[in-house]
Chain A
Amino acid sequence: MTVCSLLDAPLHRDLDIEALPADIGLRRRLLELGVRRGAPISAVQRTAGGGLLLRTGPSRVAIDRATCAGITVCLASADGTCLAASGAADATGSPMCAGGTGAVAAHRADAGTGEPSANAAARA
């Protein structure tokens, strides 16, 4: 799967939430504002301070840089599933996600071993 942190995700692409930060209060607030698995999410703009402006359904949510870095997403395909194949590129040949190797490595470790990890508890 091509996953990365929200901070590294491309703008104006449909995203699926894979994991949220472990902090229970922060995770709860993100869920309440519609940032959750299965909800239509896209990053529409980078904001002053390095954060992101997300579209969550009909609403928009501003999130700071550190929180964005703690949210793991994958690019949604036309049929709603997560785009497969690591290192996938878009039509121009550019990588789907910029950087984010830390999140990708952790996620691959979870998926590969099938063993629960710290991220499992933070899944949306």
Chain B
Amino acid sequence: MPETVQSSCHGGGSVAPTAGAPTVAFIGCPNVGKTTLFNAVTGLRRSVGNWPGTTVETGRGRWHVGDERVDVIDLPGTYSLDPQSPDEALTRSILVDAPAAERPAAVVIAADAVDPARSLYLCAQVRELDLPVVVALTMNDVAARRGAAVDAEALAAGLGCPVVAVDPRRGTGVEELAAAVADALRSRTMAPRPTDAPADDELAAMDDRFAWIEAALAPALAGSPGTGDGPARPSASERIDRIVLHPIAGPLVFLAAMWAVFQLTTIVAAPLQDGLDALFSGPVTDAGAALLAALGIDHPLVTGLVLNGLVAGVGMLLTFAPLMAIMFALLAALEDSGYMARAAVVADRAMRALGLPGRAFLPLIVGFGCNVPAISATRVLSDTRQRILTALLVPFTSCSARLTVYVMLAGTFFPEHAGTVVFAMYVISILLVIATGFALRRTLWRTMGSAPLVMDLPPYQVPSPRILAAGTWVRLHGFLQTAGGVIVATVIVVFALQSIPATGDHALGEVPPEDSLYAAGAQAVAPVLAPAGFGDWRTAGTLVTGFVAKEAVISSWAQTYALEDPSSLDAREQGSSPLAVQLRATFADSSGGHTGPAVWAFLVFLLAYTPCVATLAAQRREIGLRWTVFGVAMQLCIAWTLAVAVFQIGRLIW
């Protein structure tokens, strides 16, 4: 494998390839237990991240095979070497298109014993290459219960390669699999299977493969009394699907599931996040201050940098940990249980209007709680183009952090209609997602066809808590690694700007807000916002702070006026607070008396512009730097254009 595989800045990357170690690729159809098997053989010696130069997620790990340590890569699920998406194309590029010296030393193909004919099509294609192959046969217990157990030895004779029965969830058969892979690595090559099909006739080639599979399976199934065509009476999965996929009940179940996801990522995570926030802003900061004092360090800039920059930055990062952990666990549970496939079927028709598959509904719903886990949730989309498009739309979903600002401003400027104002912002958010989706589909994504829905429905199963926990930890670790640097660095930079004087004779770290570099920067930005009716530096500065975290908008606003933060008050009290009084005066002044339109313009700008630096960090991890930068530019353009339009049109009538 090329040495550049570790040069990617994407993903966790905590498991580096071992120099000189052979690479074994795990491939297989979706939902056959391939990744569970990969996790079983690698244990915690694994990481997930994007393949270099792509936004396709792969797993990397290490595996002790015989006396050798090999590098293992877990490639995206694919039904064949004829890809339908960029994710599937990665498997072909690695096994077929790469130079011989850069291909894996061996391939493990995960195949499902319940429907071996389908699983083995990929094997039939790989066996046309000269790569050593070992088939890992999963779900043998389910096949046996249906009276269609597969004789692994007979199948191996038919396929011309080793077949090992494994149970990835229990870890059985893993040692036998390692022994078979060790033998395959020693042999270094495997004679391709003979084929008579013309090279230029794809249908004939497919028929040839199916015939080869049937010939190999016949003796392997000869001893099984069942036909393998499924149980005579409906299975539990079929009975459940009569409801879950029902034209009327199905959407109701789907909405209930999405509501549960939304609630868990907001209400359950919120107290954990508040607790961590209180921990870092309280005891940890106090301990840091005490430590600095004990070391004799009392310069305001240094103590501020450490406590209000570094500690605050790390604290902010860690407050996302419970939220992200819950999100990753929910995603894994929905996928592992089999419900995710059903949700995609139910939501397909609605999402097709946006040119997205049904699965795209999940990240958009989660975005109304928090955009950060919503960006990570785009992983449910196997097609990279769909994932990027959805990740670009997520920031337009109005997260709960923005809600705090809506409530404050609605209570201040529209006290009699505060609830309606907040509701209107969510309606605008939905319209913005739809409109932006339409626009992108007809421009940059115009060549992306609306993929037909042809989806295999795996049987329902109870997610394994152990597997869920391990997978959640791997993903959370990767997020903290890649997003942590961006978030902490940004918080430190903002603090530094607020601590360095731009005017006046002030010491570092003892600067009034209006004399800081922060204010100077805000004053430079303010004229750009003048056409939108809120070209005051304090308002512009708030938007800059809001870029770090929307939760900090009100507190930083209060700070610029040297007033108390009214966030802890209810909406009515916020509307009559000293900050509210100052804000009314500021907006009236900056809008030339057209306060209402200016406030609406500000609300629209707040909704549409970049959510927060944590969202950007998540986007960078999922869709790469280039698309993240594009997203920022798009958000700022849309936000400014809409805000100006709202104000300029609004002031004509209000």
Contact = CB atoms under 8 A, between A and B. Distances in A.
A57 B231 CA distance: 10
Interface stretch (A46-54, A82-90, A100-108, A109-117): A46-54
B169 interface: no
A53 to B, nearest CB: 6
A31 B453 contact: no
Interface in A43-68: 44-51, 53, 55-67
Nearest to B234: A44
Interface stretch (A22-30, A73-81, A91-99): A22-30
A51 B345 contact: yes
A10 interface: no
A86 to B, nearest CB: 28
A33 B114 contact: no
Interface string B226-264: 001110000001100110011110110000000000000
B349 interface: yes
Given A58-B230, A59-B115, A49 B457 contact: no
Contacts of B245: 45, 47-48, 53, 62
Contacts of A31: 206
Given A32-B80, A58-B229, A67 B457 contact: no
A67 B246 contact: no
B148 interface: yes
A35 B237 CA distance: 20
Contacts of B19: none
Contact of B210 (A35, A36, A45, A60): A36
Of the listed residues A31, A34, A40, A56, the one surrounded by the most CB atoms of chain B closer than 10 A to its CB is A31
Interface string B46-84: 000000000000000000000000000000000110101
A49 B82 CA distance: 28
B117 A64 contact: no
Nearest to A46: B247
Contact of B148 (A26, A45, A58): A58
B121 interface: yes
Interface string B329-348: 00000000000010001101
Interface in B75-96: 79-80, 82, 84
B117 A57 contact: yes
Interface string B108-137: 000000110110010000000000000000
Contacts of A40: 229
A48 B250 contact: yes
A55 B198 CA distance: 31
Contact count band on B: 35 or more
Contacts of A45: 241-242, 245
A61 B345 contact: no
A30 to B, nearest CB: 6
Contact of A28 (B80, B242, B349): B80
Interface in B601-620: none
Contacts of A53: 241, 245, 457
A48 B244 CA distance: 9
Nearest to A50: B349
B455 interface: yes
B230 A48 contact: no
Of the listed residues B206, B242, B454, the one surrounded by the most CB atoms of chain A closer than 10 A to its CB is B454
B281 to A, nearest CB: 47
Given A48-B246, A49-B346, A61 B82 contact: no
A45 B469 CA distance: 35
A64 B452 contact: yes
Interface string B181-221: 00000000000000000000010001000100000000000
Given A48-B251, A58-B146, A59-B118, A33 B456 contact: yes
Given A48-B245, A61-B455, 4 more contacts: A29-B454, A32-B118, A60-B241, A61-B456
10 cross-chain pairs, A with B, having the tightest CB-CB distances, nearest first: A49-B349, A64-B453, A48-B250, A32-B79, A62-B345, A59-B115, A67-B452, A47-B245, A58-B230, A60-B457
Interface of A: 24-26, 28-36, 40, 44-51, 53, 55-67
22 contacts: A26-B454, A28-B80, A28-B82, A28-B206, A31-B206, A32-B118, A33-B79, A33-B118, A34-B115, A47-B250, A48-B246, A48-B251, A49-B345, A49-B348, A58-B146, A58-B148, A58-B230, A59-B456, A60-B238, A62-B453, A64-B453, A67-B453
Interface of B: 79-80, 82, 84, 114-115, 117-118, 121, 146, 148, 202, 206, 210, 228-230, 237-238, 241-242, 245-248, 250-251, 341, 345-346, 348-349, 452-457
